[in-house]
Structure 1
Amino acid sequence: MTVPVTPTLLYLDNVTVSFDGFRALNALSLAIDHAEMRAIIGPNGAGKTTMMDVITGKTQPNEGTALFEGTHDLTALDETAIAELGIGRKFQTPTVFELHTVEDNLLLALKNKRGPLATLLSRRTNREQERIDSLLERVRLPAQRHRRAGELSHGQKQWLEIGMLLAQEPKLLLIDEPAAGMTDQETADTADLLRDIAKSKGVIVVEHDMSFVRALGAKVTCLHEGSVLAEGSLDAVSANERVVEVYLGR
């Protein structure tokens, strides 16, 4: 198979996924550039989760192309190999090591980690400490470094998990409904954080909160019945009659 070269970070073309005759994705095509943030919106059942499952190798499409960096065929790789390529995924509910400190959570997540027990018992290097310090600053948690992760607020746990993703030095982050359950200030801070990350990495954010989507300032893709219904600025997508009919409901 000759794989076409594309300059985009992520390239999906004609991706179709069927479950017992139901098309969760229906000839979906999408392209994400390097250092681009894309907001994905759409009603429940639109295919948002299935799309992320295909990108991360959890679900194999029935047909279509899924390329990463132009040369890596995601449909031929398992979840571990895809993660090692530099694709990180954050689910809606934060998953952190609640009994460990914030600092140790980041240490455990560092790229080329040696395993949980060995990492915690070993003496961290200056480079690792500098990396952890930088991550703590980036995700707004330097004052929480010695607290157990389980003591953090919901929003802080979300930031910690994003920091744990960043510790693995991904090229593309998939973030599922990060604003859910956050305070107004945490929501604003999260939008700032994701905009900062998108200066150097690809970021896909699945979100229902339109105020948060607006704060992201990103290009918006609306999915419906497994396909792209509309794409563009939030104002343009929100003005689309079909988007209003099937999703925004006004």
Structure 2
Amino acid sequence: MNSLLEVSGVSVSFDGFKAINNLSFAIRSAELRAIIGPNGAGKTTFMDIVTGKTKPDEGRIIWGDLSRSLLGMSEAKIAQAGIGRKFQKPTVFEDQTVEENLVMALKSKRSPFAALFYKRSPGDMRRVEELAGEINLADQLYRKAGELSHGQKQWLEIGMLLAQDPQLLLVDEPAAGMTPAEREHTTALLVEAAKTCAVVVVEHDMEFVRRLNCRVTVLHEGSVLAEGSLDHITANQEVIDVYLGR
């Protein structure tokens, strides 16, 4: 199967320090992948490059069925092309209800002019209810987002990204600060999302990665050190030396 995203020979330096060093990475449609590695391995920079926040010094980033290059595209254009990113700290509209947050995420697919005259259609409201069920917030629709727990805010932000029908979802440390029950639902949510889009999860919590039960990519000094199942990764002596043994 062809790759949805293909990163090939990408490097980027900051003040002489190579944050990403000849990195190659590929993911297919409807695939779940975890990325692990020590601090400074290049995990965040990798996501910055894919979303257009950081421009690489060299290499290629090829996207989608039409094999378009993402290089030279703005962050907004890359988001419109179907790449959604969830940062570690949830960013939701705290003064708006869960329902309003999800409706706004649906609206963001429209032009600003169309959004001015937007009226909620029955189809949109069905989609909002569907999303609320998926993110375990069906009973919180009319609650202000600011009143939600940390874990619930994380789910709402994932729901807002899913409302935009992404083809690729980049998720940064979703398990951080969650209760065990919240982690369990987050695992189920990401596994379910990966049935319809590619999902890349950057995570430090190895127990959470094990629950995802997916292929794992280990980054070290801006390059791929190892790739495979978690059992394969945890038995790799180089991975143990640079990351797991710490």
TM-score by length of 2: 0.95
Output the aligned Cα RMSD: 1.7
The residue number in structure 1 matching 2:86 is 90
Q: Identify the match of residue 149 of structure 1 among 123, 138, 145.
A: 145
Q: Identify the match of residue 48 of structure 1 among 43, 46, 49.
A: 43
Q: Identify the match of residue 159 of structure 1 among 155, 158, 181.
A: 155
User: What are the residue-to-residue correspondences of 1:206-217 with 2, within 5 Å?
Assistant: 206-217=202-213
The residue number in structure 1 matching 2:13 is 18
Paired residues of 1:108 and 1:116 also in contact (CA < 8 A)? no
**SS at the partner of 1:200?**
coil
- 2:32 matches 1:37: yes
**SS at the partner of 1:98?**
coil
Q: Letter of the aligned partner of 2:166 in structure 1?
A: P
Whole-angstrom CA distance in 2 between matches of 1:79 and 1:202? 19
Whole-angstrom CA distance in 2 between matches of 1:124 and 1:175? 29
Whole-angstrom CA distance in 1 between matches of 2:159 and 2:221? 33
Whole-angstrom CA distance in 2 between matches of 1:178 and 1:155? 9
Whole-angstrom CA distance in 2 between matches of 1:106 and 1:82? 21
Runs of 4+ aligned structure 1 residues displaced above 2 Å come to: 111-119
In structure 1, runs of 5+ residues without a counterpart are 1-5
Whole-angstrom CA distance in 1 between matches of 2:56 and 2:115? 38
Q: Letter of the aligned partner of 1:112 in structure 2?
A: K
- 2:181 matches 1:200: no
The residue number in structure 2 matching 1:78 is 74
Q: How many corresponding residue pairs?
A: 244
- 2:123 matches 1:112: no
Q: Letter of the aligned partner of 2:5 in structure 1?
A: L
- 2:25 matches 1:27: no
Q: Letter of the aligned partner of 1:128 in structure 2?
A: D
Whole-angstrom CA distance in 1 between matches of 2:113 and 2:183? 31
**SS at the partner of 1:57?**
coil
The offset of 1:249, in angstroms, is 1.2
Q: Identify the match of residue 60 of structure 2 among 42, 58, 65.
A: 65
Percent identity between matched residues is 58
Q: 1:117 to 1:81 in 2, by over 3 A?
A: closer
Whole-angstrom CA distance in 2 between matches of 1:118 and 1:48? 35
Paired residues of 1:108 and 1:115 also in contact (CA < 8 A)? no
In structure 2, runs of 5+ residues without a counterpart are none
